[in-house]
Amino acid sequence: MTVKSVLLAFIALLSFSITSLSQAPKFSNEFLSIGVGARAMGMSGAVVANVNDATSAAWNPAGLSGIKSDLQIAAMHAELFAGISKFDYATLATKMDDKRSLAFSIIRFGTDDIPNTLDLIDANGVIDYSKIRSFSVADYAFLVSYSKISPVEGLRYGGNAKIIHRKAGDFGKAWGFGFDLGAQYSSSDWLFGVMAKDITSTFNAWSYQTELFEETFAKTGNEIPKNSTEITLPKLILGAGNKQNLNEKISLLMEINLDMTFDGQRNVLISNDPMSVDPHIGLELGYGDFVFIRGGIQNIQKVKEQDGSTSTIFQPNMGVGVKLGRLSVDYALTNIGSQETLYSNVFSLRLDVNKRSKSE
């Protein structure tokens, strides 16, 4: 199959998904839009064209072909919203041969130790604190990623197959399945990337154990949820970047990404119906392939002031990284999920492992 045929099939599949499911709700499986790895988060997620390590599984699986070692392990931990929620990520990426790479990843976003007060008050109206139990609300994603270097010079492509599991204690759970496709192209100092998330749309089938809360919900006038299907529409991300060596030791990488959603108007810089475009920009200044300083802006939004006027706001991010031989340590200071001044500290690690030769 030629590159042209693959591209036409890619566009046709995306168009079919968007057209047939244009009425799906917004913000489904949004935990997968947070991003992984402190390097990328310090650059405001503008990495679709330049990512080339194990975190590519989440940003653009085509980048897995850029891994130089036989095996790379990446992990991240972040405590969000002042430590209320935890976000964890781990991946194992390996080179199958000189042109193909494979990765296995897990993502968890959860809030733990939530008090369950359904049985706090008994039938006689007596409060019994010993009846309080705790539960967790967590979202999981399991990804299998594949990448291959194309015969076309500078082109590589890849995809994800992902299983989604969402759980709210013993009360409800959902299972879903979806696909992502991505590609990268490099020419001289220029980098280009495209990532189509949920290319066929991702379906989460929810089921609820209503017997655990139906009586309490009925007494308090709360709506009792019903088994249903939640749909995640495709999202298309385009990226373009440029990397320059300013001198023998200092390099500068800049990239801009355009996140294109197809579920109606969103509060982003370019807001239309049915498509909205959310740009974000990142840069990375490197010294001797040892120390890296990063920054970026994202979440560019228009807000209405008290006097009725409209202003544009944005979210800045920053980060640093150090490469110590085969180990890379990255840190990012980033704001996730709001425009308030509630920033989170994100740490991540990457470790390169090379196979021993037979003579060793």
For the chain, percent of residues with pLDDT exceeding 90: 54
Please give the structure tokens belonging to residue 58. 């989440």
| Predicted confidence (pLDDT) per residue in 71-125, tens digit | 999 999 988 777 788 999 999 999 999 999 999 999 999 998 888 877 777 777 7
| Average pLDDT in the chain | 85
In a domain, 360, yes or no: no
Q: Which residues contact residue 69 at a Cβ distance below 8 angstroms, ignoring those fewer than 6 apart?
A: 95, 326, 352, 353, 354
Domain membership of residue 359 (yes or no) is no
Contacts of 280 (CB under 8 A, 6+ apart): 44, 45, 46, 256, 257, 259, 296, 297, 298, 299, 300
Q: Is residue 358 part of a domain?
A: no
Residue ranges making up the domain that contains 36: 3-353
- Tell me the pLDDT tens digit for each residue of 288-302: 989 999 999 998 888
* Model pTM score: 0.84
In-domain check, residue 259: yes
Rounded CA gap, 231 and 242, in Å?
Answer: 36
- Distance, CA of 189 to CA of 206 (rounded, Å): 47
Instruction: For residue 75, tell me if it sits in a domain.
Output: yes
Q: What is the pLDDT of residues 27-62, one digit of tens each?
A: 678 888 888 999 999 999 999 999 999 999 999 999
The 3-state secondary structure of the chain reads CCHHHHHHHHHHHHHHHHHHCCCCCCCCCHHHHCCCCHHHHHCCCCCCCCCCCCCHHHHCHHHHHHCCCCEEEEEEEEEECCCCEEEEEEEEEEECCCCEEEEEEEEEEEEEEEEECCCCECCCCCECHHHCEEEEEEEEEEEEEEEEECCCCCEEEEEEEEEEEEEECCCEEEEEEEEEEEEEEEECCEEEEEEEECCCCEEEEEEECHHHCHHHHHHHCCCCCCCEEEEECCEEEEEEEEEEECCCCEEEEEEEEEEEECCCCCCCCEECCCCEEEEEEEEEEEECCCEEEEEEEEEEEEEECCCCCEEEEEEEEEEEEEEECCEEEEEEEECCCCCCCCCEEEEEEEEEECCCCCCC
State residue 224's pLDDT score.
Answer: 76
CB 134 within 8 A of CB 116: yes
CATH number, domain with residue 207: 2.40.160.40
Residues 6+ apart with CB under 8 A from 162: 141, 142, 143, 144, 177, 178, 179, 180, 202
Determine the Cα–Cα distance for residues 233 and 203; give it in Å rounded to an integer: 9
Number of domains composing the chain = 1
Residue 316 lies in a domain: yes
Query: What local confidence, expressed as pLDDT, does residue 221 receive?
Result: 73
pLDDT beneath 70, residues of the chain: 1-27, 337-341, 355-360
With respect to residue 112, please indicate whether it lies within any of the assigned structural domains: yes
Residue type, 54: A
pLDDT given at position 27: 66
Residue 319: C-alpha distances to residues 291, 294, 346 (Å): 11, 5, 9
Q: What's the pLDDT at 341? A: 56
